[in-house]
Amino acid sequence: MALLDGKVAVITGAGRGIGREEALLMAKHGCKIVVNDLGGHFDGTGQSRSPAEDVVKEIRAAGGEAVANFESVTDFKAAKRIIECAVDNFGKLSIVVNNAGILRDRMVFNMNEEDWDAVVGVHLKGSFNVARHACAYWREQHKGGNVLNGRLINTSSDSGILGNAGQSNYGAAKAAVAAMAVIIDREMQRYGVTANAIAPVARTRLTVDATPQTAAGMPTAKAGEWDAFTPAHVAPLVAWLSSDDAKEVHGEVFRVGMGTVWLMRGWHSVGKVAKKGSMWDPAELGGKLKEELGKGATAKENMGQVMAGNV
């Protein structure tokens, strides 16, 4: 029996890059796939049916089952239709991979309202929209005695969990989708659902076209050689997290790429200064905090170090 036999997945933004690889691998492992993709440019403008249609053709040619869906995840009502597309075509929904993404990099002092709204709209609101309708469906099914072992996988980024200059819109949204997975996991455990997040590292148009400075650290492999940065390296983790075997994995964040999976944990206290009985004087507090920061100062990892294999 294949790992995902009998499962049905919605993968957003599955017409290209990482989502396409997830769709192909999960279909190979028996999962029926709704290949959702708006088919726009990397900045979110435009649309085209061919990316989603092409992936559906590839899956079918390999003997799998898939349907295309061209709705935008940014639209709350359209997100409901994406979920309904799975149920209408394949009878149920088991897995949601929130993967759709765009980039509009600017330093914060140059960022206009539209660039902020567009990026936050796809990554943060889009992930919420799809998760919200999927979770309502899983809860309703569970109440009716149909336990579907729902799986939600949000796509975060090193930009969100570590920070990256020029991406206050994207990084803020990506930190939020990681937090969203942790919170939804707590809300949905009682319905047999797990929610986790991934932070991929891969050569796709979001790195090659939108951020060539990042892609410079992601060389293309020669034919027959190990290709460290192919987006295909992301898919095995997502396929496994989607399976019943991963039922104990709750609210985790994994960096994934280059054949490596890192378990990421953050925002934990590493020191404190405390005073009881009287209020801190601000300067006194600042002096104590500077001492504490000095003690706890450790080198922070960044995406360049990860790509160079130094983390």
Residues that are catalytic: 157, 170, 174
Tokens of 249: 């994995």
Q: Which one, 72 or 194, has the nearer CB to ligand NAD?
A: 72
Site string for ligand NAD, 150-189 (x = CB under 6 A): -----x-x--------------------------------
**In this structure, are residues 193 and 211 in contact, taking their beta carbons and an 8 Å threshold?**
no
Q: Which one, 149 or 230, has the nearer CB to ligand NAD?
A: 230
Strands (E), the chain: 8-12, 32-36, 66-69, 95-98, 151-155, 194-200, 253-257, 260-264
Cβ at position 295, least distance to ligand NAD in Å: 32
Among 33, 79, 180, 206, binds ligand NAD (CB under 6 A): 206
Rg from Cα positions in the chain:
21
Tokens of 46: 């435009």
Angle between helices 17-28 and 50-61 (to 10 degrees): 20
Position of minimal CB gap to ligand NAD: 17
Residues 29-48 that bind ligand NAD (CB under 6 A): 36-40, 42, 44
Q: How far apart are the first and last CA of the chain?
A: 36
Tokens of 274: 């405390």
Residue count at the site for ligand NAD (CB under 6 A)? 35
Residues found near ligand NAD in the complex (CB under 6 A): 12-13, 15-19, 36-40, 42, 44, 51, 72-74, 99-102, 122, 126, 155, 157, 199-202, 204-207, 231
